[in-house]
Structure 1
Amino acid sequence: MKKNLLVFFCLISVQIIVSQIRNVDGSLGRIPRRGSDSIPDNEISVKLSGKTKYTDYKIISHKNDTTIIDTTLTIQKEYKFNFLRKDNFELLEFHNQGQTFTNLGYDFTNISPFPDIGFRAKMFNYFHIEDVNYYQVPTPTTEIMYRTGMEQGQVLDALFTTNFSKRFNVALAYKGIRSLGKYRRSLASTGNFRVSFRYETPKGQYTIKGHAANQDFFHQENGGLTPTALEAFINDDPNFNSNRARMDVNLSNAESTLDAKRLYFEHTFKLLSSKDSVTQKDFSNLKLGHSFTRDSKFFRFNQGAPTTGVFGEVITSSGIDDKTAYIAYNNELFLDFNSKYVLGKFRVKTMLSNYRYGYENLQNSTVGITKNKLKGNAVSLGADWNGRIGNFHINASGMLTPGSGRLSGNSFKGEAFYKKDSVFTIKSNVEISNRFPNFNFLLHQSSYDAYNWENNFVQEGTRTLGGSIASKWGDASIALTNISNYTYFDENSKPVQFSGDVNYLKLKVSKEFSVGKFALDNTVMYQKVANGDSVFRVPEIVTRNTLYYTDEWFKGNPLLVQIGTTFKYFTKYKANAYDPLLAEFRLQNETEIGYPTVDVFFNARVRRTRIYFKADNISSFVLKKNYFSAPNYPYRDFVIRFGLVWNWFI
């Protein structure tokens, strides 16, 4: 909590100091709110630079797609107002924010070509390379997101970015979460610090961008409710209704931590450029580029004293301290060719990668493990193509890593879409991937005997064919996925490869109906596992329906309000169980979960500040206590929370 407040006050101080920088004429530059005073909605007067449009405040993604900083209040903003700051329609939260999620649906696009450390239950709030943004802003810009925690604590996501010149931008961002939770031993404390920069020379001959990210995820692990406490919860025992912390849990002294550090940069140099005589716009004919990534992760499970009733036999009677380390380096060299004469942009690339994964020494001498480390390197070859003919776009990317090492494999992604102005966009895509499972499937060591293994698994093969349509009449998407050698953790938390194929269908439809100031937003997802449903499990139907009212209140319309209720439901299925020692989900065949929830919200916008009030799970007053995030882990009871998102443009 103190760390989050310190970051908040530091950013506020920087913003105040910068805001006092005077213009050449001695006046103070400021940006009045859009739609106020006498300034039109689409332009903002700034004395420092003459006239600045709101579209000048740009967010640039890893793939160089550009959007603008958006201060509107929409129903999509309501869906994204959570600690992930993403629409979590396909995820089921645990009771405390900052904890993990149960997957209600899966996305098999954009699969990484290489295996990772694993421990995937820790990775929902992890910022990958693609999640770090870059900026271009005419004046210093700040965004603060705040939300109250569960019982005690809060979420704070703060961003400050400024351009030191038109071509050089720096951004600092920190997201911190500390939430105690309602149940015993459920504290979540995480931090994501990012610093990014972007620079180009005056004529654009040389460009460089990069970031550093330091992330840590700490959780107390309680192992879920004991059988006696579970029975009391289901039977709605009045002795525990007002104080969930009185319920007994399976683990009273366990904690897990994932620490991650990453350094990334990419720079390019134009070797040859020419000018299009028709449009008189420069374009690069030949560009040489290089990117570098250093990525390290460290997972630790520690326990004051072993719990044999949960994890089985153990080699020690003292404390447990399991540590797993991973580090990877990637150097990529690429050559870009961009011209209208070849219908787009081509990239030829080669990558040198190496990794180390494992343990300092053999942690358990009684289980026959012979290795304590995995390491290796590989050279990859690939190409990208981004083409366009009118409104028709084609994107393709392929990579091959030859050899027999653990980094070997191949991937291909293809996408074609047709966009008709703002009327509709039709897209089709295909993705083929062959790669080894994550390293914790291949090698894992622990003081607990049952959690030691070394496996020589074969590559997983994933093939996905899909399509989507986005239009003013509604959105729809479909994906057909076939997985060979699917790797999972069985009922005993052992890694296993499925001998058959998994065939998975996902169909999602979204449509909003509006009448006057009222609207009904609907999203329905249908899923079917035609083969392999014994190891790959999802609910058949997931739905979210939001009825809401939007209006401007008071004279002069200073306040925009949004009031509504959201109904969510998923059909019963045998969801995977959470294993805290592995930070993974495993199969189980005893418990089915599936239930409806109703939330109520009141949101408002005052100038550039969006304010959020939400009452979670008011349906808990009338429904049976059968709501769980995973077996033995109850979903949250009724709770009211408050938050806001606040932007400054100085």
Structure 2
Amino acid sequence: MPNFKNRAVLDVHFTDAQSTRESKRYFLSHEYAFLNHTDTLLTNKQIRLRHQFLYETEYYQFEQATAQKKYFGDSYVVAELNDKARLKKMINTLGTELELPYLGRTFLSANAYHYNYFFRNAYYTSGVLQPHQIKDTDLSLGAQWHKRIGGFAIDAQAEQTLVGKITGTHLNGKLSYAFNTLNKIQAGIDLQSAMPDFNFLLYQSDYKNYNWYHFDDFGKQNTQTLFADVNTQWGNAQASLSNINNYTYFEVQEPITGIRGQSVPKQFTGDIQYFKLKLQREFTLGKFGLENTLLFQKVVQREPILNVPTFVTRNSLYFSTHLFKKAMYLQTGLGFNYFSSYYSNRYNPLLAEFEVQSSQKTGGFPMFDFFFNAKVRTMRIFFTIEHFNPILMDRIFDTNPYRYYSAPDYPYRDLTIRFGIVWNIFT
């Protein structure tokens, strides 16, 4: 991993390329209540007819003035490359909600999900026109249930696709108990089965390596998760254990001489177990405070395709007080972030996706921030110096601070200063 102290010598790719993502969403929700609540005996009883409508259009476009063979391989054209993926989807949900004291709140629905993901370019293989569109309508039935019994709360939801291939099964159940407003525990299960994102199933590009169609040979990605949360006045803990089957990802192929390894969509048919434990605790002593968040992660897999840092910590040491007869509230302190080194995914600018790689590790270095926040009535002032490590390491410890990367091929940013004012004139 090279060290760059003089940023002017960095070899930057794609100075003539840009990517654009745009989406527009329209949402409508309306319902009709059948029971009149003028009768006090019916205040906790109701029957509702509800309809929800969502329409969304989205496109992703990658444009490049000149093809770069060493980065993406051969191309059909050498100039004015233009890849554009389009998605149109419409979701209609029609259902009935029944609310009764002894039954809780139950919602039964029928759902229609229409999708149209397509490219307008023609792509041929051995003279045969390849599919350029995934278009269909999935029909499903769903149910939701919520019930409180004393300090217990039960939440459950289910959806099963009857017609269609993109969507599948979703089951979620959660049981919680509140001892009081500060202490609560909950546990649950979540099951999901659905096809991977459209990008994995179909893509077409002016670059020859980035044309594929996997709608027929890829299966549904299945995830089963057990989770539990404990929130107390002393701290919070969250734990989850997931089993993933048919995990779908982008793999980096072996590079060819003079050409970077290319991304191809893959699906791992085995099982992957992923465990996560998150702990949060805040300590206070007078006007000083120390806020801590610790995350531990462990993945069990036959192949290194789901890569995460084993340990992540975020900490803030701060001082807060009132000044000028409590006219101003001030808070200032230091922030510390760290995650252990691991083979983080590499960003692919053509796809706007991350790809699994095993050649370069990132992480394993600390990041320090300084912050100053103040509030005067309806005005808030903030001042932040982010990542001031280079000053400490270069000038004080005489070490090179410019060898850190936020992702493979992406050096971590230099010291950044942010300043701002938020003023609510009308309250």
Q: Verify: 1:551 aligned to 2:312, yes or no.
A: no
Residue 366 of structure 1, CA deviation:
6.6
Q: How does 1:575-614 map to 2 (within 5 A)?
A: 575-594=344-363, 595-614=365-384
Q: Are 1:294 and 2:55 counterparts?
A: yes
Letter in structure 2 aligned against 1:250: H
Please tell me whether residue 388 in structure 1 is matched to residue 388 in structure 2: no
Q: How big is each residue's C-alpha offset from its partner over 1:21-72, in whole Å with a ceiling of 9 and x where there is no partner?
A: xxxxxxxxxxxxxxxxxxxxxxxxxxxxxxxxxxxxxxxxxxxxxxxxxxxx
Q: Are 2:254 and 1:494 aligned?
A: no
1:325 to 66, 86, 91: 86
| Alpha-carbon distance, 1:367 to partner | 8.9
Aligned match of 1:371 in 114, 131, 136? 131
1:185-218 superposed Cα distances (whole Å, 9 cap, x missing partner): xxxxxxxxxxxxxxxxxxxxxxxxxxxxxxxxxx
Does 2:18 correspond to 1:255?
yes
Does 1:354 pair with 2:114?
Answer: yes
Q: Give distance in 1, aligned partners of 2:123 and 2:333.
A: 54
Q: Determine if the alignment matches structure 1 residue 439 to structure 2 residue 209.
A: no
1:534-545 equivalences in 2 (<5 Å): 534-545=304-315
- Which TM-score applies when normalising by structure 2? 0.92
Q: Which amino acid aligns with 2:374?
A: A
TM-score for the superposition, normalised by structure 1: 0.61
Q: Please point out which of 175, 184, 195 is paired with 1:416.
A: 175
8 Å contact from structure 1 (residues 273, 286) kept in 2: no
Q: CA deviation at 1:626?
A: 2.6
* Contact kept? 2:124, 2:130, Cα under 8 Å: no
Are positions 1:630 and 2:407 aligned together? yes
Number of the residue aligned with 1:451:
210
> Following the alignment from structure 2 to structure 1, what is the Cα–Cα distance between the partners of residues 127 and 82?
17
In structure 2, distance between residues paired with 1:511 and 1:264: 39
CA distance in 1, matches of 2:9, 2:326: 48
Q: How does 1:191-340 map to 2 (within 5 A)?
A: 231=2, 234-236=3-5, 240=6, 244=7, 247-273=10-36, 282-340=43-101
Q: Residue 571 of structure 1: which of 325, 332, 340 is its match?
A: 340
The CA distance in 2 between the partners of 1:235 and 1:400, in whole Å, is 53
Judged with a 3 Å threshold, the aligned counterparts in structure 2 of structure 1 residues 301 and 465 are, in CA distance, closer, same or farther, namely same
Tell me if structure 1 keeps the 8 A contact 2:4–2:403. no
Contact 2:4 2:10 in 1 (8 A): no
CA shift, 1:597, in A, is 0.6
Moved more, 573-582 or 267-276: 267-276
Q: What is the rounded CA distance, in whole Å, between the counterparts of 1:256 and 1:531 in structure 2? A: 34
1:629, distance to aligned residue in structure 2 (A):
1.2
Matches of residues 472-511 of structure 1 in structure 2 within 5 Å?
A: 472-491=233-252, 492-511=262-281
With over 3 angstroms needed to count, the CA separation of the structure-2 counterparts of 1:440 and 1:366, relative to structure 1, is farther
8 A contact 1:477–1:509 mirrored in 2: yes
Shift of 1:535: 0.4
Structure-2 separation of matches of 1:643 and 1:369: 55
Q: What secondary structure, in the 3-state scheme, does the structure 1 residue paired with 2:79 have?
A: coil
**Offset at 1:340?**
0.9
Contact kept? 1:384, 1:398, Cα under 8 Å: yes
> Do the aligned residues in 2 keep the contact of 1:612 with 1:644 (CA within 8 Å)?
yes
Give, in whole Å, the separation in 2 of the partners of 1:399 and 1:640.
47
Counterpart AA for 1:448: Y
1:644 aligns with 2:421: yes
Which has the larger share of strand?
Answer: 2
Distance in 1, Cα, partners of 2:376 & 2:110: 50
User: Helix, strand or coil: the match of 1:449?
Assistant: coil
SS of 1:637 mapped into structure 2 = coil
Distance in 1 (CA, whole Å) between partners of 2:95 and 2:414 is: 52
Describe how 1:146-157 pairs up with structure 2 within 5 A: none
The 8 Å contact of residues 567 and 599 in structure 1, kept in 2 or not, is answered as: yes
Give the number of equivalent residue pairs.
408
Contact kept in structure 2, 1:364 and 1:449, CA below 8 Å = no
In 2: Cα distance, 1:274 partner to 1:341 partner: 18
Aligned 8 A contact 2:46 2:100 in 1: yes
* Shift in alpha-carbon separation, 1:325–1:294, aligned structure 2, 3 A: same
Q: Relative to 1, partners in 2 of residues 1:598 and 1:649: Cα closer, same or farther, differing over 3 Å?
A: same
- 2:197 paired with 1:470: no
Instruction: Read off the aligned partner of 2:28 and give its amino acid letter.
Output: F
1:111-156 superposed Cα distances (whole Å, 9 cap, x missing partner): xxxxxxxxxxxxxxxxxxxxxxxxxxxxxxxxxxxxxxxxxxxxxx
**Deviation, structure 1 residue 608:** 2.0
Question: Using a 3 Å threshold, how does the CA distance of structure 1 residues 354 and 317 change in structure 2: closer, same or farther?
Answer: same
| Alignment CA distance shift 1:367-1:326 (3 Å) | farther
Distance 1:636 1:422, change over 3 A: same
Contact map agreement 2:123 2:130 (CA 8 A) in 1: no
Further displaced range: 639-648 or 263-272: 639-648
Give the AA of the match of 2:118. Answer: G
Q: Greater RCO between the two (CA within 8 Å, min separation 6)?
A: 1
Alignment root-mean-square deviation, CA: 1.8
Are residues 368 and 646 of structure 1, via their aligned partners in 2, closer, same or farther at CA, if it must alter by over 3 Å? farther
Helix, strand or coil at the partner of 2:390:
helix
The aligned counterpart of 1:407 is 166
Structure 1 runs (4+) deviating above 3 angstroms are 273-277, 363-369
Structure 1's 451 and 444: CA in aligned 2 closer, same or farther, altered over 3 A?
Answer: same
Are 1:615 and 2:385 an aligned pair?
A: yes
Pairs within 5 Å for 1:80-159: none
Structure 1 position 528 matched with structure 2 position 323: no
* Unmatched runs of 5 consecutive residues or more in structure 1: 1-229
